[in-house]
Structures are given as structure tokens and as C-alpha cells.
Amino acid sequence: EAYQKSRVTQFLHPESDPLGSGYQIIQSLIAIGSGGMKGKGWMNATQGTLGFIPESHTDFIFSTYAEEWGFIGCVVLLALYLFITARVMLLACQSEHFFSRLVSGTLAMSFFLYA
């Protein structure tokens, strides 16, 4: 469909329409970049707080997090996600019952893919 192609194109090249459909992506990248290495600190994110990123608490929560906590905070967050996923997968592998393995493995993969 044409609208699907338009969304993918806009995601890959947001600068083609910076005030229209590319606005959120551009502001998100600005927020991530302005966080720097250590971030601006808890509740000091200017892009999200001042409304440059619409829906910063839902759709673009990672960019707000990156602005507040910086690169180090993002690495810690991703490491935490990987640790939780690996721990649940290890639990699934060590489980004696097939159903427990299935549920634990599904939970781990669901958490990994959706988070």
C-alpha cells in the first residue's frame, strides 16, 4: 500500500518532511543526542518536558530516557533487558516439565521482542 511505503520512507528519511511526518523522529534524535554520555539528570529532559516530543511518555519513551540518563543509562537499560531475558531462558532450560519450559521460553521471548 502507498501509506505503508510512505511510513517506511519517512522513517528512513525524516528530513524530507521535517515539519510534518518526520517531526517526531527528528526531535527524538535530537533528544537522544542531547543526552550525551551521562545525560541531563532525572526530570531534566528539555525535549520531552517542553513538548518538542509529542507523547514522550508513550511512543518515544526511549528518547526521553536517553536524554535524561545518557549513553551510559541506555547501555545499563539494554543490559538489564538482556540479563532478564537470559535469566528466564536459563530457567526455562533447567525446568523439568515441558509446559514450564514452554511458558518460560515464551515469556522470555515475548519480553525480549516487545520490550
Q: What is the pLDDT of residues 28-44, one digit of tens each?
A: 888 888 888 988 888 77
Q: Which amino acid is at 5?
A: K
What totals of helices (H) and strands (E) does the chain contain, helices first?
Answer: 5, 0
DSSP-derived letter for residue 16 is G
Confidence at 89, pLDDT banded by 50, 70, 90: very high
Alpha helices in 1-115 (DSSP H): 2-12, 23-35, 46-49, 61-94, 98-114
Q: Is the pLDDT of residue 9 over 80?
A: yes
Q: What is the pLDDT of residues 49-60, one digit of tens each?
A: 777 877 767 778
* Residue 58, C-beta contacts closer than 8 angstroms, at least 6 positions apart: none
